[in-house]
Amino acid sequence: MKRNNKNIMKIHKKRKWGYIGLVYISPWIIGFLVFQFYPIVASLIYSFTDFDMMGNANFVALKNYIYMFTKDRDFYNSLKVTFLYVFYAVPLKLAFALAVAMILNARLKAINIFRTVYYLPSIFGGSVATALLWRFLFMREGAMNNLLAVFGLPDAGWLSSPKLALFTLSLLTVWQFGSSMVLFLAGLQQIPGELYEAAKIDGASRIRTFFKITIPLLSPIIFFNMVMQTVNSFQEFTGAFVITNRGPLNSTYLYVMKLYYEGFQYFKMGYACALSWILFAIIITVTLIAFKTSKSWVFYTSGGGR
Amino acid sequence: MKKKVYIKKFIQYTFLIILGLVIIYPLLWLFFSSFKVDNEEIFGSLNLIPAKWTLDGYINGFKGSGQYGFDLFFLNTFILVVPTVFFTIISSTIVAYGFARFEFPLKKILFSLMLATLMLPNAVVIIPRYILFNYFKWIDTYYPFIVPAAFAGSAFFVFMMVQFLRGIPIELDESAKIDGCNSFVILLRILLPLCKPALFSMGIFQFIWTWNDFFNPMIFINSTYKFTVSLALRMTQDTATIVIWNQVLAMSVLTLVPCIFIFFISQKYFVEGIATTGLKA
């Protein structure tokens, strides 16, 4: 009897100890409710109104969404521009990061210095300073055109040509390939050297080794980088806003920039909320598709992948 | 045989150096151009190194074009960034401790919710947040940055800390518990000293991200005298009709300096931070 009591006490004590956890996470719970959950719900509700920041919010049912898909030509343009941006930036950045990581993976001295140098641009993230630098380098009188002139080539219109401007912007994010590179490098270092030796003995070519060993073993990291970069690229704003703004013929009018203009310049807050939900839906859909297709090409060795 | 190895090494190093120069060239161009005399030299000459070094860009740029100088903008940025970093570290550690070391009802659901917010685009919540902060009378103050940080607003850092705490053996806590330590003492005396690398990583990343952030300050701050450096830099592009580039570039260099400084003194944590949590940008 006494012993039983003691056990119950023990369980009680353990449970009580566990409940203390709730106290520790309580700041997050409050923060989540106020700064995340409420805004999400509010955003959804606003998206069905014509809220304009002056305090008037009338329920307009699906009008925002209908307008978006039937009348707003900028909407389709922004979608196109954003998808194109993702399409330029993500593969280029990943390919570049992987290539550099493979070179750095060679056992050379002073590799840390190179890694540091290659990483350096990445610490500036989406800063205004690097965006200004890009503008400065690629503007009409800028260094890149001067360089072309040395070879007798004309002004490429890096930022002024509707065809090229978006690509020039995506180069800025490719330049900041550091964190993808670091992850690839960590992945490459985990691939057992014996695999390559065995392949060499079997007479496999380098290209074959790359596609049959490196890529499959690295696929969880490739996948992770791909998803993260895609999600980030869909939300690109600062670079485009500072360098070209809407760009020639709205060719760099990215989706989040449109959202900013609708919400904070034209004060169509309700409409901007509707736009943000479409963006959210697109990002979720693309991520889900990535996860679905990943089963066919991402290999998780036991304990290997993240 | 040996010769072949040397040649291979030589080619590898040459390639690495050329690639490094290409990658770093834009930054060098930025740095040296900021010391050039005027736009004519900046755009007219292909020379990287200035013909005549001048600090005009720095001196005039620092004064600013309007009423306010960059000393104010730098001060503002520190006033915004330092508390944000400080509260992020404290709140994320406490919350992560709760998730990593205690069993309570709904823990799994709450943890998944927190991870889900990692995927939530800022754009979706920015408008309601603006409306909410407007209601709180927080627009044109730094509260929209500092207060969410105090409530573990960045799931990324909580997750990073949880991962790190999970790597510390729980036996340490348990023996301290037997010795009669309460849970807060365990966190403070036993776990925190072991968490130093993670705390550093968190501080570094949050500093750099907040320092470089442009979108949020642009939305939440209106008055010029409260501008952060990124807002002030952007302003150089629309106030003057003719952009005096050596000033713009000089100020760009100055805004990058704190990040470069932190990067070089804390490289170890940088790379570890990315490699252990596997994230971002």
Tell me: the pLDDT tens digits for B204-229?
999 999 999 999 999 999 999 999 99
Domain assignment of residue A302, yes or no = no
Q: Contact A128/B43, CB-based, under 8 Å?
A: no
- Predicted complex ipTM: 0.90
- What is the C-alpha separation between B228 and B73, in angstroms, rounded? 5
Asked if A57 contacts A270 with a C-beta cutoff of 8 angstroms, the reply is: yes
Please report, as a single letter, which amino acid is at residue A144.
M
Contact call for residues B226 and A107 (beta carbons, < 8 A): no
Asked, for residue A55, whether it belongs to a domain, the answer is no
Residues in chain B closer than 8 A to A284 (CB atoms): 119
In one-letter notation, the amino acid at residue B146 is: I
- Calpha distance B173→B242 (Å, rounded): 63
CATH (domain of A137): 1.10.3720.10
A200 lies in the same domain as A279: yes
Residue A139 located in a structural domain: yes
**Structural domain boundaries in chain B:** 2-61, 66-277
A216 touches B at CB < 8 Å: no
- What residues of chain B lie within 8 A of the CB of A237, using their CB? 214-215
Asked if the Cβ–Cβ distance from B249 to A31 is below 8 Å, we say no
Q: Angle between the B155-166 and B267-277 helix axes, to the nearest 10 degrees?
A: 90
Q: Say if residue A105 is in the same domain as residue A252.
A: yes
Interface of A with B in 141-200 (CB under 8 A): 141-143, 146-147, 150, 175-176, 179, 182-183, 186
Q: Name the residue type at position B24.
A: I
Tell me: pLDDT of A96 over 70: yes
Residue A145 lies in a domain: yes
Nearest C-alpha in A relative to B101: A21
Per-residue pLDDT of chain B (281 residues; tens, 9 = 90+): 578 888 888 888 888 899 999 999 999 999 999 999 888 888 877 788 888 899 988 998 888 777 889 999 999 999 999 999 999 999 999 999 999 999 998 999 999 999 988 888 888 899 999 999 999 999 999 999 999 999 998 999 999 899 889 888 888 888 888 888 889 999 999 899 998 888 988 999 999 999 999 999 999 999 999 999 999 999 888 765 678 888 999 999 999 999 999 988 887 776 666 655 554 43
- Residue A230: CB partners within 8 Å, gap ≥ 6? A86, A90, A286, A287, A290
CB contact under 8 A, B124 and A40: yes
Please state which architecture CATH assigns to domain B66-277.
Orthogonal Bundle (1.10)
Among the partner-chain residues B95, B252, B270, the one whose CB lies closest to the CB of A24 is: B95
Cβ-contact B37, B246 below 8 angstroms? yes
A41 and A69 belong to one structural domain: no
Q: Return the pLDDT at A303.
A: 46
Kindly state whether residue A26 falls inside one of the protein's structural domains: yes
Q: Which A residues in the span 11-50 are in contact with B, Cβ-Cβ below 8 Å?
A: 17-25, 27-32, 34-36, 38-40, 42-43, 46
Contact flag B119-A269 (C-beta cutoff 8 Å): no
Per-residue pLDDT tens for A290-306? 999 988 888 876 544 43
d(CA B10, CA B16): 10
Among the listed residues B231, B227, B242, B187, the one whose alpha carbon sits nearest the alpha carbon of residue B76: B227
Which among B19, B30, B123 has CB closest to A276?
A: B123
Domain count, chain A: 2
The predicted-structure confidence for B44-100, as pLDDT tens digits, reads as follows: 777 888 888 999 889 988 887 778 899 999 999 999 999 999 999 999 999 999 999
Instruction: Inspect the interface and report whether the beta carbons of B97 and A27 lie closer than 8 Å.
Output: no
Same structural domain, A112 and A233: yes
Please indicate, yes or no, whether residues A10 and A92 belong to a single structural domain of this protein: no
CB-based contact A43 B124, cutoff 8 Å: yes
User: Which structural domain, as residue segments, surrounds residue A172?
Assistant: 64-297
What are the start-end ranges of the H helices in chain B? 2-33, 39-44, 56-63, 70-101, 107-118, 122-135, 143-150, 155-166, 170-178, 183-185, 192-194, 196-212, 215-220, 229-239, 245-265, 267-277
Q: Please report whether residue A303 resides in a domain.
A: no
Q: Are residues A162 and A293 in the same domain?
A: yes
User: Do A75 and A26 lie in a common domain?
Assistant: no
CB contact under 8 A, B252 and A132: yes
Tokens describing residue A69: 């898909």
Is the Cβ pair B29, A137 closer than 8 Å? yes
* A26 Cβ neighbours under 8 A, 6+ residues apart: none
- Number of Cβ within 10 Å of residue A185's Cβ equals 23
| B109 burial via Cβ count (<10 Å: 0-12, 13-18, 19+) | exposed
